[in-house]
Every structure is written in structure tokens, then in C-alpha cells.
Amino acid sequence: MNVNGRASLNVALVGYGYWGPNVARNFSQIDGARISYICDLDDDRRARARQSFPYAVVTRDIEQLLADQSVDLVAIATPVSTHHPLAMRALTAGKHILVEKPLANSTKAALEICAFARHQKLRVFVDHTFVFTPAVRKMKEIYLSGELGTALYYDSTRVNLGIFQHDVNVIWDLVTHDLAILDYLLDGRKPRSASCTGMAHLGNRHADLAYLTLRYDHDFIAHINVNWLAPMKVRQVLLCGDRRMLVYDDNSASEKIKIYDSGVSIRQVEELYETLVQYRLGDMYAPRLETTEALTLEARNIIDALHGHDALVCDGDAGARVVSILEAANYSLRLNGQPVELESVEHQAAG
């Protein structure tokens, strides 16, 4: 089956800054897609794009690519504040869209993108890249298998020195990754509330470190530590159940996922307040993972989804759920950590 009667998906990229070149490279290297346009306002970036993709039309005029009926998908890799207006322009022109994370800078804007896409009968894809990593795919496989038992908590440390963003704080930059992973693991189940504390240092008006706690039903809790001021890069997630515990270390070259047959059991003995704590320290194993780049898997998923061959993993609804949690976390940050109910954020956005 072809997209709009064509054998290859024609992709137009808007934004050739930090992430755009990665998007262009992956779509250009897989069967079933080609980069037909690259759009950027910066002269130097356009010059680099021409060198890397001499067959693509490189322009600063977005209307040129939107007017081209051969373009199937517009990939948006621009600052967050521009996502909503660019997405709406592309959808109005009849194009499917892929939007760099996060989908928008507010829940209201994200929901408007999704609603308008449905009205236009077009697809919204959100670039939640970590969802397509073989490690996170394996994490979900293990979680769904029941091997971990009942999930107790998710604990993530995602810190490094920089990169300071000029338009968003560290929550919108780094927490997005963990929220996308949680949304994928939990099949879209959202937390009841978000509580976030943080600080802006060095005269920067945006928070450069934050600690976010999410409370879910059934006593599941997630804690996410992010900052741009750490002396070393750490990308580590603990997903712990009452039977086994999983560690995901994205910086590990060979053993990104480790499963520990470890746990704690508490047994009440004779006296009412006397308990016996037993620790289980068993074996560890590291499952074998694929080595395919996440963006390559994401590009293939988009092509398959548009041909009707595969279930869509990161659609606009997933993007909107993530944005609603980000917005709740941002509200809580302003309230010095006071918990913010997700329902209140979504109610305000819908109103």
C-alpha cells in the first residue's frame, strides 16, 4: 500500500538545529522514505543541510514546502514555543506531522493540535525517542511479563552539565523523556498528582534542576531527578517490583538492562509492632538487546503506521498526556512543591 498513491514517504523537515539533522539522517537512510525539503531560517544551517542532503530542496520559506502536494509528512524540530503554530499550519496544508518532544508548551495547545488533526483526518506523531530504544522496549516486555511482580516505584536520575535551554526549563527539557517512558510502560495510565521542587541558579530565569514526584493509583510512585548542573552525565532508571528489580543504565555500553532477583519481605511476629525483615539477594542477569538506533525504529514505525501495517506507538494523544503532566509539574514548581492534581490541569485546558 502506498501513501497517497506513492511508493515512498516524502518528508519535509522544519528546523535544522540540534535535533533536526538526526531526524533527516534517519529518514534518508531507511527504505520507504526520502527527505524532500529542509527548512531553516539560519544561513549557516541551510548551508550545512545542502552539503549533507544535496538532493533535497533547502529553503527558508516554509510556505514552499507546505504548498507542495507531494509532501506527506512535515517533521518539526524547532523550539517548543513554535510547535503549536507550525503544527497547525502543516495540518491546515493537509500534511501529517512529526513533532519533536514535547508536543506543545501547554495542554490546551496540545489538545488543539490533536483535535484539529482528527478533523483533518491526519496523523500526529510525537518524537518520544526513548520509547523506541531497544532498552525501553525490553523494559516494557519484562514489565508486562509479570517477572517484576507488582510494580512499586520508578526512580530516574537524568543529569548532566548543560545543555542550558533558552526557551524552557529543565522540566520541559529532560523530564519529558521519563514521562514518555512511563506513558509507554503504563499504556497511557496517568498519575493522580504531581509535586515538583526546583531552583534556577546562575541568574537564569528557568529552573536548572528539579525533583518531581508522581503519585499513581495502587500505591505506584515515580520520582524523577533532573538537572543541568551535574559534574557527570547520569541516565539511570530503577523500575522495582515486589519480586524483582530492573536497572536501566543508558550510559552502559554493553549491559543497559539488568534484572536483579532481589527484594524485601516483612513478616509480623508475636508482638503487634514487632516485625521481621527478610532480604533476598539473588542472581543478576542482563538480557541481550538489539542495536538499532531508536530514531530508525521510530521512522519505520511512522512509515508502517501511515501504510496501516503497525500500531502507532507515540501519537498525539500520548504527546498531550505527557504535556499535561509537564504542566502540572510546572504549576507545582511555582507553588514550591505543593501537589497539583492532573484532573485540574486537564479541566482548565478543556475549558
Which domains are seen in the chain, by residue range? Answer: 9-130+295-314 (3.40.50.720), 131-292+324-350 (3.30.360.10)
Report the 3 state secondary structure along 102-152.
CCCCCHHHHHHHHHHHHHHCCCEEEECHHHHCHHHHHHHHHHHHCCCCCEE
The conformational region for residue 174 under phi > 0 = left, psi -120 to 50 = alpha, else beta, is alpha
pLDDT for res 325: 98
How far apart (Å, rounded) are the C-alpha atoms in residues 59 and 39? 5
Residue 4 has pLDDT above 90, yes or no: no
Residue 34 has pLDDT above 80, yes or no: yes
pLDDT band at 181 (very low <50, low <70, confident <90, very high): very high
Cβ contact 113:106 at 8 Å = no
Span 101-140, pLDDT tens digits: 999 999 999 999 999 999 999 999 999 999 999 999 999 9
Residue 269 has pLDDT above 60, yes or no: no
- DSSP conformation letters of 146-213: TTT-SEEEEEEEEEEE-PPPSSS-HIIIIIHHHHHHHHHHTTTPPPSEEEEEEE--TT-SS-SEEEEE
Q: Stretch 299-328: mean pLDDT, rounded?
A: 92
Q: Stretch 53-69: mean pLDDT, rounded?
A: 97
CB neighbours (10 Å) of residue 150?
11
pLDDT for res 72: 97
Nearest Cα to Cα of residue 250 among 235, 233, 240, 238: 235
pLDDT for res 282: 78
Span 224-245, pLDDT tens digits: 999 999 999 999 999 999 999 9
How far apart (Å, rounded) are the C-alpha atoms in residues 337 and 198? 8
